[in-house]
Amino acid sequence: MMNSLSGMPRKRLVVAHAMDSHTIGAVSLAVEKGFVDAILIGDKNEIQQISNKEGCALSSFEIIHEKDPFSSALQAVSMVRDGKGDLIMKGSVSTDQYMRAILNKEKGILAQGSLLTHVAVLEPVSYHKLLIVGDVAIIPNPDLKEKKIILKHLILAAHMLGNKNPKVALIAATEQVLPGMEACVDAALLSKMAERGQIKGAIVDGPLALDVALDKKSAAIKKIDSPVSGDVDCLLFPNIESGNVFYKCHTKLMGGNTAAIVAGARVPVILSSRGDSTETKLYSIALGTLISTKS
């Protein structure tokens, strides 16, 4: 993923309450690799102590002193609104406070009518390429209109990673178009919309069960002839339960690498967990930087 950033101009990353070692370590590496300049908002003394402990050069960052977590988030959002940041990242501030600042109706960075959606890029240990998946963290039960927006962001991420015609599987529990199963009906409609040119830039098929999407042999056994099966690039899940379980199985059982952002705001939003590794946060910064190039 980071190879895709080669030769691109640096982006300005603003970090809200940058007060943990994994965040500072990841940001330091991103600065060192040359794809961002970083502004860290938080308690200056603690940032200095953490940086010294991690061996990160303080000269790599601009530091803005602010002890309060929510105030840090508000200030980060304000800087983005004022054009001083190209992407925003969560440090040790809680997700609730971070998202409240972003979603503030008067001073936030969500344009009217926009939809926030989670986009993750996974590197499975037992699959031959990256998988781009959504939505696994934000939208509980997306309707057809929301699924179309999620699909747009998955396709954009694939394009920014160099895949100009990604293969997208619309996941359901079965490949049959069952009228009583919303996931199947929505997948069939989206697939037909793509066939008619209403969704561009990808090969889209569904409904497909996960085994058929990922494994060509399973598709052959079930007599499913799909251009997507066994070579899928993107997975659109029908709801947050299915997507989130898949995502956590990937990270916790399979140990695969992950990058994730929230798309739909004025700039890419990095919403890493406070427990995420330095590597995961670095990959997420890289993904956010790529997406901000298109935004």
Q: Where are the domains of the chain?
A: 2-112+265-294, 117-253
Which of 97, 104, 91, 134 lies closest to 271 in space, CA to CA?
91
Q: pLDDT for 60-107, tens place per residue?
A: 899 999 999 999 999 999 999 999 999 999 999 999 999 999 999 889
Q: What does the pLDDT average to over 134-144?
A: 95
Q: pLDDT for 215-263, tens place per residue?
A: 999 999 999 999 999 999 999 999 999 999 999 999 888 888 899 999 9
Tokens of 147: 């699924």
Does the pLDDT value for residue 5 go beyond 80? no
Q: pLDDT for 165-208, tens place per residue?
A: 999 999 999 999 999 999 999 999 999 999 999 999 999 999 99
The residue with tokens 């969500």 is 110
Shared fold status for 2-112+265-294 and 117-253 = no
| pLDDT value of residue 294 | 66
| pLDDT value of residue 251 | 86
State in words which class domain 117-253 has.
Answer: alpha beta
| pLDDT value of residue 253 | 86
Which of 257, 292, 263, 291 lies closest to 276 in space, CA to CA?
257
User: pTM of the entire structure?
Assistant: 0.92
Does the pLDDT value for residue 295 go beyond 60? no
Q: Identify whether the C-beta of residue 274 lies closer than 8 Å to the C-beta of residue 141.
A: no
- Answer CATH for 2-112+265-294 from 1.10.10.60, 3.40.50.1820, 3.90.650.10, 3.40.50.10950: 3.40.50.10950
Q: pLDDT for 261-276, tens place per residue?
A: 999 999 999 998 777 8
> 253 has which bridge partners?
none
Q: pLDDT for 7-42, tens place per residue?
A: 788 999 999 999 999 999 999 999 999 999 999 999
